[in-house]
Amino acid sequence: MFKFTQMTLSQLEVGETGIVKEFTDLEMSVKLMEMGCLPGEEVRVSRIAPLGDPIAIHVSGYQLSLRKFEASTIILQ
Amino acid sequence: MKADIRVALVGNPNTGKSTLFNALTGLNQKIGNFPGVTVDKKIGYSQLPDGRSAEIIDLPGTYSLYPKSRDESIVFSVLAEKATELTPDLVVVILDATNLKRNLLLYTQVADLKIPVIIALNMIDLAKKGGVVINIDLLAKKLGVPVIPISARKLDGIANLKAAISFANKFALQEGSIDVKAIAPDLIDSICKEIDTENPYFALQLAHQHETLKFLTPAQSDRIEELEKEHSFHSQKAQATETIARYNYINDVLYDTVKTPVTAQDESHSNKIDKVLTHRVFGFVIFMGILLFMFQSIFAWSAYPMSLIEDLFVLIQRGLRDALPTGPLTDLLIDGVVAGLSGVLVFIPQIAILFAFISILEDTGYMARVTFMMDKIMRKVGLNGKSVVPLIGGFACAVPSIMSTRTIENWKDRMITIMVTPLVACSARLPVYTLLIALVVPSRNVWWIFNLQGLALTGMYVLSLVSAVIVAWVMKFILKSRERGYFIMELPVYRMPRWNNVLFSMYERAKTFVLEAGKVIIAVSIILWVLSSYGPGDRFKNIETKYSQPQYAQSMKPHSLARVISTEKLENSYAGVLGHTIEPVIRPLGFDWKIGIALITSFAAREVFVGTMATIYSVDGDADRIDSVQQKMRNAKNPDGSPVFTLAVAFSLMMFYAFAMQCASTVAVVYRETKDWRWPATQFVYMTLLAYGAAFLVYNLLK
C-alpha cells in the first residue's frame, strides 16, 4: 500500500537520521522552514522528552524541539 | 539626548543581542515602551571613535520578519516605517557564528528592505573552538556588507564594530539576495504603485502584514486587500516559496565561505548536559531540587540584610522621634511615611535574590529545557510548555510574567496562562508569608537540613503552583479554542550565565520594585495614617472628654490610660469604622477589624499588608516604644487578652493572600494584554471567591 512507504519524522528513534522530503501541513511547514527545517535537509532525533513528547531534533546546525504531532507532518525521503 | 546616528540591533533570540547592547551602551540606557504597544523598548547611547554619538535601539529577538508574536511584530514596523523618531539610519544584524545558516535568513530579509546594514558576527571564539572555519572576507564580499567578527561576552571586537558603525554608508550597498518580484510579480507592481515605493520586498511584506501595521491608513490597507484578491495572493504559499528561495541563496553563500565539522563541539558538550538535565527521572528531581534550593536561599540569604534594614529603620524612627517636636506632622512622617518606606525597602534582598536565580536559569538555557520537559503535562491541563516561563516568572512578579506570555502563539493557551499566573506566589506575597510564618512557625531544623519555616514557605509556593494547574485545567473546558497550538522552539546551547547581566537584572528589578511599589505603598501608608488618626464627626472629641473625667485619672495609671484612649480612638477612626463594617464578613475567616483594614488596603498591592500592620499597631501601641512589625504583631492581643495571631489566623490569612487578586498593577496589565475588561473582572471575582473559601476552610480546620 502507498501510505506504508511514507516515513514521517515522528517515527524515528533517538539517534536515527532522515532527510526531509515534504510537509503535509502548509501552515506548519512555513514555521518549520523558517527554523531551517527544509526539504533536502538532514534531521537527527537527538532526544525525546521524559514524558515521551515533545522531541528534540538536530537540524541546520542546532537543536529544535517540536511536538510529536508536529513531527508527524514532516515526511522523510 | 540627541544622537548623530540611529542604529537598530536586530537578530535571532539567543545570539547575544542583549549582551552586545550592554557592551555598546554600558549603563547608559533606558527602558520604555514602543508607541502604542507594551513591548519593552531598550534604547542606549554609544560614543563612536570619530566623536559622534549613536543611539542604539535593541529590537526584540526574532527568527524572521514574519512575526509569530506581538513582540516580534515590532521589528518590521520599526524598520519599515519612514521618518519616525525610531527609523534607523543603520541596522546591525547580529549573527551567531556557530549557527550561520538559520541566522542568515533574517539577515537576507532585512538586507532586502535596502536599509544600510552591518553584520556583527558574534561568538566567533566559540565557532573557532568548535572547529567552524569562516572566510570572513569572502563572506563580506559575497554579501556586499561589512562583516565584523566579535565576541560580545569577552568584549572582543566591540571597538571594531563601533568603527564600522561610524564609517557606515548612508545608502544600502548590499547585494540583493533573492528575486523577490518572482514570488508575486503583478501584485508587487501594483502595491509599489499604490504605496509609492520602489522596494519590491517592502511591497511584499505589506501584502503579508498590512492588517496589523499601524503606519498604513485604513484606506491603504483596504486597497492592498483588494489587490491581493485581484491577484489571488496566498500568504502562506508565498511565504513558503520565499523561505525556500532564501535558504537556496544562503546555501550558495555558505558553500565556499564556511566549513563546519560534522558535529560542533559545543553542541556535543551541550548534549552531555542534556542527558542528565532532561533525564526521565533525574530531570524532574533536579528541577524540583533547583526550586527548593531557590526558596531556601531566598529565606536564608536575605535574613541578615533584611534585619539590618529593619534595625536601621527602627534607629531612624527613634532618631526622628527625638529630634522633631511632637505633633500630628511628626506622627505622619514617622508612623506613616517612614513606617511605609521601611516596609518597601526591607524586601530588596529577597527580590534581588529571586531575580538573580530567574535570570541565571534563563541565561544558561535551562529554562528552555524545563519548557521541553513540561510541555506534555502542561498541555494536559490546558497550558503550553511555554507557559512554564511565565509561571516560574510569576514567583517574581505577575506583571512582567503576564507580558512574557506574548511568546505563546496560541490564543487559548495564552489566555489560560494569563488567567492563572497571578495565582503563583509572587514576591509581593513573600513578605506577608515570611512575616506570618516567622510569627507562628518555630525556626527549627527537621530531617537534618530542612528548616521548618523554610518548609512552610516552600509549601505555600507548591500550593500556588498546584492551584494554578487546577484552575487552568478547569478553564481548558470553559474556553473555546480559536486556533491550533504550536511548540516549535529552539533549544539553545548551554552557556555560562553572564554575571554582568545577572547583576544588571537584579539592580533593574529592585529599582523598579522600589519605585513602582514604593509609590503605592507610601501613598497607602499616608492615607491609612490619616484614616486611622481622624474619625467621623466628634467621636474623637467625645473620647477625650470622657477620659478627662477625674475618675479615670484616679483609677488608672497614666500609662495604661493613654493606651486605652488610643485604642478607642483607632476603633472610632475612619479606618476603624471601615474595618468594623467588613468585620461580619471576615469574622468566619478568623479576622478582626484591624486585619480587615489591612485586607482592604492590600487590594492596591499585597505588600502593603506589612506597612499597614506597622501603621495600625504603632498608632495603637504606645508612642515611645518602637518595635519592628513582627514584635508589634506578636504583642497584639484580642480584647479578652488572647494573642491575635494564632496558627489558625496566620494560616487563614496566608490562604487569603495566596488566592486573592490583591494587585492593582496586575489588573491593569491583564487589561492591557487582553484589551477586554471582562478578563481582569472574571479573574478578580474567581480569585477573591477562592481566597474566601480557602481561608474559611483552613481557619476552621486549624481553630
Its ipTM equals 0.92
Asked whether residue B39 is domain-assigned, the answer is yes
Dihedral sign for Cα atoms in the order B179, B180, B186, B192: negative
Grid cell digits, residue B11: 537578530
- Residue B111 belongs to domain spanning: 5-167
Residue A4 Cα, gap to closest chain B Cα (Å): 26
Question: Closest-CA residue in chain B for A50?
Answer: B280
Are A56 and B491 an interchain contact pair (Cβ–Cβ within 8 Å)?
A: yes
Residue B175 Cα, gap to closest chain A Cα (Å): 21
Dmax over CA atoms of chain A, in Å, equals: 36
Q: Do residue B93 and residue B34 come from a single domain?
A: yes
Partners of B589 in the beta sheet?
none
- What is the predicted pLDDT for the residue at B584? 92
Facing residue for A49 by CB, picked from B236, B260, B372: B372
Are A62 and B283 an interchain contact pair (Cβ–Cβ within 8 Å)?
A: no
At what angle are helices B265-277 and B282-323 packed, to 10 degrees? Answer: 80
**Spatial separation of the C-alpha atoms in residues B543 and B534, rounded to whole Å:** 12
3 state DSSP class of B636: coil
Q: Do residue B51 and residue B23 come from a single domain?
A: yes
**Spatial separation of the C-alpha atoms in residues B391 and B355, rounded to whole Å:** 14
Q: In angstroms, what is the C-alpha Rg of chain A?
A: 11
Grid cell digits, residue B77: 514596523
Query: Whose CA is closest to B561, among B574, B549, B571, B579?
Result: B549
Q: Do residue B197 and residue B234 come from a single domain?
A: yes
Determine contact, residues B381/B476, Cβ cutoff 8 Å. Answer: yes
Q: Which residues, other chains included, contact B161 with Cβ-Cβ below 8 Å and sequence gap of 6+?
A: B24, B92, B118, B120, B148, B150
How does the average pLDDT of chain A come out, rounded? 88
Asked whether residue B503 is domain-assigned, the answer is no
Q: Do residue B156 and residue B236 come from a single domain?
A: no
Q: Do residue B144 and residue B206 come from a single domain?
A: no
Mean pLDDT of each 10-residue bin along chain B, 703 residues long: 85 89 81 64 88 91 86 86 83 93 94 92 90 91 93 90 87 79 87 86 90 85 89 89 93 90 66 86 88 76 84 88 84 78 76 81 87 88 84 79 77 90 88 87 76 86 91 89 77 86 80 72 77 80 80 73 73 85 91 86 77 69 57 78 87 94 81 85 94 95 88
**Which of B103, B138, B167 is the last residue before a domain boundary?**
B167
Q: Do residue B222 and residue B92 come from a single domain?
A: no
Facing residue for B280 by CB, picked from A30, A33, A50: A50
Are B102 and A36 an interchain contact pair (Cβ–Cβ within 8 Å)?
A: yes
- What is the predicted pLDDT for the residue at B110? 93
**Which of B215, B245, B261 is the last residue before a domain boundary?**
B261
Torsion of CA B654, B656, B657, B661, to 10 degrees: 170
3 state DSSP class of B642: coil
The model's confidence at residue A4, banded by pLDDT at 50, 70 and 90, is low
Q: Do residue B37 and residue B96 come from a single domain?
A: yes
Q: Do residue B251 and residue B127 come from a single domain?
A: no
**Spatial separation of the C-alpha atoms in residues B68 and B42, rounded to whole Å:** 21
Determine contact, residues B388/B409, Cβ cutoff 8 Å. Answer: no
C-beta neighbour count of B537 within 10 angstroms? 8
Question: Closest-CA residue in chain B for A45?
Answer: B271
3 state DSSP class of B70: helix
**Spatial separation of the C-alpha atoms in residues B295 and B455, rounded to whole Å:** 9
Partners of B33 in the beta sheet?
B40
Using DSSP bridges, classify how beta strands A17-23 and A74-76 pair: parallel, antiparallel or unpaired: antiparallel
Question: Closest-CA residue in chain B for A68?
Answer: B487
Q: Which residues, other chains included, contact B96 with Cβ-Cβ below 8 Å and sequence gap of 6+?
A: B11, B12, B14, B15, B16, B103, B122, B123
C-beta neighbour count of B322 within 10 angstroms? 7
Tell me phi and psi for residue B327, to 5 degrees. 160, 170
**Spatial separation of the C-alpha atoms in residues B506 and B359, rounded to whole Å:** 9
**Chain B residues inside the 8 Å CB shell of A63:** 267, 270, 490-493
Q: Do residue B80 and residue B105 come from a single domain?
A: yes
Asked whether residue B416 is domain-assigned, the answer is no
Q: Do residue B133 and residue B204 come from a single domain?
A: no
The residue length of chain B stands at 703
Grid cell digits, residue B639: 480584647
Alpha helices in chain A (DSSP H): 26-34, 68-71
Determine contact, residues B608/B616, Cβ cutoff 8 Å. Answer: no
- Which residue in the block uniquely carries the three cell numbers 527625638? B322
Secondary structure letter of residue B51 according to DSSP: S
- What is the predicted pLDDT for the residue at B265? 54
- What is the predicted pLDDT for the residue at B109? 94
The H or E element containing residue B273 is helix B265-277
Residue B491 Cα, gap to closest chain A Cα (Å): 5
Q: Do residue B95 and residue B220 come from a single domain?
A: no
Are B243 and A38 an interchain contact pair (Cβ–Cβ within 8 Å)?
A: yes
- Which residue in the block uniquely carries the three cell numbers 551602551? B25
**Spatial separation of the C-alpha atoms in residues B57 and B8, rounded to whole Å:** 5
Q: Give residue-wise pLDDT tens across range B644-683.
A: 888 899 999 999 999 998 877 788 778 877 878 899 999 9
**Spatial separation of the C-alpha atoms in residues B335 and B529, rounded to whole Å:** 7
What CA–CA distances, in Å, run from B174 to B119, B246, B682? Answer: 11, 15, 53
Q: What architecture does CATH give domain A3-76?
A: Roll (2.30)
Into how many domains does chain B fold?
2
**Which of B167, B202, B218 is the last residue before a domain boundary?**
B167
Query: Whose CA is closest to B10, among B53, B42, B51, B33?
Result: B42
Facing residue for A62 by CB, picked from B102, B236, B284: B102
Grid cell digits, residue B400: 512582567
